[in-house]
Structure 1
Amino acid sequence: MSTDSASSPSRKEKREARAAKAAAELEALRKKQARKSILTVAAVVVAIAVIIGGLVWFSVNRSGDDKVTAVEAGSSEHGLVIGPDDAPHKVVIYEDFLCPYCAEFEAATREDLAELAADGKVQVDYRPFVLLSRLGPYSELATSAFAVVQEEAGSEVAKKFHDLLFENQPSESGPFPEAANLVDLAVEAGASEAAVKDRIESLDGKAWADAATRAAADSGVNGTPTILLDGKQFQEGNTMEDIADALVEQIS
């Protein structure tokens, strides 16, 4: 049996090849771990930035609000009122349907405010307007749709639609619901599809949304949620939950 020593690698060459392969694999693993570490650090940095950004935005949204002109609940054409006119307390809430803090405050106060309004202890005036148009078209679309539903189906259905908009609030970065999605929510709230579909899809409530936005600006509102209790801005607390608890406590 003959062998071709020239074509067969020697044991030394095999060892060197295995060592080179092992070194290459080790280097690849090292680079992978390094990339993973970088990504982990980046993710932490992004998370911190989001938290800081949120706190800064919350602070900015509240800054200057002490200059809000005193307004009385039920005094505007651009709101949704629950509770009697002779209630001992009046609450006005300026909100944007895309604002996450508005959604947080809404979730923390909805049931309590509804119960207190039903008991005659408070009148609540929800005043949606367009603040976050720089983030996309959703704020205008949702506020316009709200105006249509309120006009076509009345305040009770509009309040349910209002609540559903916050329950189904999209992220500020999108993707944003289409007009057809808001039509579905309006129907779920109790509106007639035939009455609201074309008007929501054509932004027929835009004039109302524009007027509500101007009215908020004229009153000095530059952040959301802006809350007024008995004509004075209410800011007792450092979080939306704190503010909600303090508000409910004062009007209970």
Structure 2
Amino acid sequence: MGGAERTAKKRRRQQLAAKSEGAKAVAKARGGGDTKRIAVIVGVVVLVLAVVTGGLIWTNASKNATEGQTIPTESVQADFPERRDGAVVVLGEEDAPATIDVYADFLCPACAMFEQQYGEQIKKKVEQGQLTVRQHMLPMLTKQSDPPGYSLDAANAALLAADEGKFIEFHDSLFAHQPEEGKRGYDKEQLIQLGRDLGITSDAFADGVRQGKYDDLLQQEMDRVTKDTSLHRDFGGGQRGFGTPTVVANGELVDLSDPAWLDKVVSS
């Protein structure tokens, strides 16, 4: 083999080696790109999972916000009698010149707004002997808490509090610190503790809350109210039915959109 031929052969080997190294470099570069892309994708997936997990934790914490809480008590200055009459709590002197029936639910946000707006005015009229209030606490939204049942449990506990002469304080405390509809309400032990914090120490109260003493009575009242068409209102679109809060005076539904409704009831 001549020198020229050997030189040419050597050059071909070098070219082939260069091509091979170039191919390896390209493959390595491509592989590195894929690795980087995979790392980015994995990072995004991990981030999404973290966000979803965080959202679930936040949602569960929000839903169960009342768990383990002590229900704060409200100090109420109310100098008038109260007594339970079946499923109704009567507030004030029964011979007052005006009487209203108030239908409400402890889980109803509109009822809490009603209490915030008119509660003190109503108590003042009762104290002055101008007004008797027949308070109907209804288990209308029993299925609207998670778990279901708070509406009924709270109404039952309120009737038991009335037996102890503590209805107003119990009533005002629950509305002032109302759980959010669709989420966890207060459980029976929390309702019992609220009673204790308000000075109710009898076993009858605690046992009555745990056993749902007035549950059947309240369900009967709820059935009566929903069937009483005189309590039904027009909700628009041809829809009529019962809703809370509802106030009745002299057998007529009160227009709560009128800010002077209470003064008109008392003066009529």
TM-score between the two structures when normalised by the length of structure 1: 0.63
Equivalent pair of 1:147/1:208 in contact (CA under 8 Å) = no
Equivalent pair of 1:144/1:206 in contact (CA under 8 Å) = yes
Change (3 A) 1:80 1:89: same
Report the alpha carbon displacement of residue 219 of structure 1 after superposing the two structures with TM. Answer: 2.9
Change (3 A) 1:231 1:190: farther
Pair 1:226 & 2:246 matched:
yes
Residue deviations 1:58-109, cap 9 Å, x none? xxxxxxxxxxxxxxxx996321122222222211111111111111101211
SS in 2 for 1:126: strand
| Letter in structure 2 aligned against 1:181 | Q
Match 1:216 to one of 200, 212, 225: 225
Report the alpha carbon displacement of residue 147 of structure 1 after superposing the two structures with TM. Answer: 2.1
Pair 1:176 & 2:196 matched:
no
Q: Within 1, Cα distance between the matches of 2:189 and 2:202?
A: 10
Match 2:137 to one of 100, 105, 128: 128
107-116 or 199-208, which deviates more: 199-208
| Letter in structure 1 aligned against 2:157 | A
Report the alpha carbon displacement of residue 249 of structure 1 after superposing the two structures with TM. Answer: 2.9
Structure 1: unaligned runs, 5 residues or longer: 8-73, 238-242
| Letter in structure 2 aligned against 1:166 | F
Equivalent pair of 1:165/1:185 in contact (CA under 8 Å) = no
Q: Within 2, Cα distance between the matches of 1:236 and 1:201?
A: 35
Report the alpha carbon displacement of residue 150 of structure 1 after superposing the two structures with TM. Answer: 2.1
Partner residue in 2 for 1:138: 150
Partner residue in 1 for 2:236: none
Change (3 A) 1:199 1:83: closer
| Letter in structure 1 aligned against 2:152 | E
Change (3 A) 1:206 1:110: same
Residue deviations 1:154-212, cap 9 Å, x none? 3xx01211111211211111122111111111222331153322221221221222232
Paired positions, count: 200
| Letter in structure 2 aligned against 1:81 | V
4+ residue segments displaced more than 4 Å: none
Q: Within 2, Cα distance between the matches of 1:116 and 1:94?
A: 18
Alpha-carbon RMSD across the aligned residues, in angstroms, is 3.7
Report the alpha carbon displacement of residue 131 of structure 1 after superposing the two structures with TM. Answer: 1.0
Equivalent pair of 1:164/1:189 in contact (CA under 8 Å) = no
Change (3 A) 1:236 1:183: closer
Residue deviations 1:21-61, cap 9 Å, x none? xxxxxxxxxxxxxxxxxxxxxxxxxxxxxxxxxxxxxxxxx
Q: Which has the higher helix share?
A: 1
Equivalent pair of 1:98/1:172 in contact (CA under 8 Å) = yes
Which protein is bigger by CA-based radius of gyration? 2
TM-score between the two structures when normalised by the length of structure 2: 0.60
Q: Within 2, Cα distance between the matches of 1:191 and 1:76?
A: 20
Q: Taking every aligned residue pair, what percent have the same amino acid on both sides?
A: 25
Change (3 A) 1:193 1:218: same
Q: Within 2, Cα distance between the matches of 1:231 and 1:206?
A: 27
Partner residue in 2 for 1:246: 260
Q: Within 2, Cα distance between the matches of 1:120 and 1:197?
A: 33
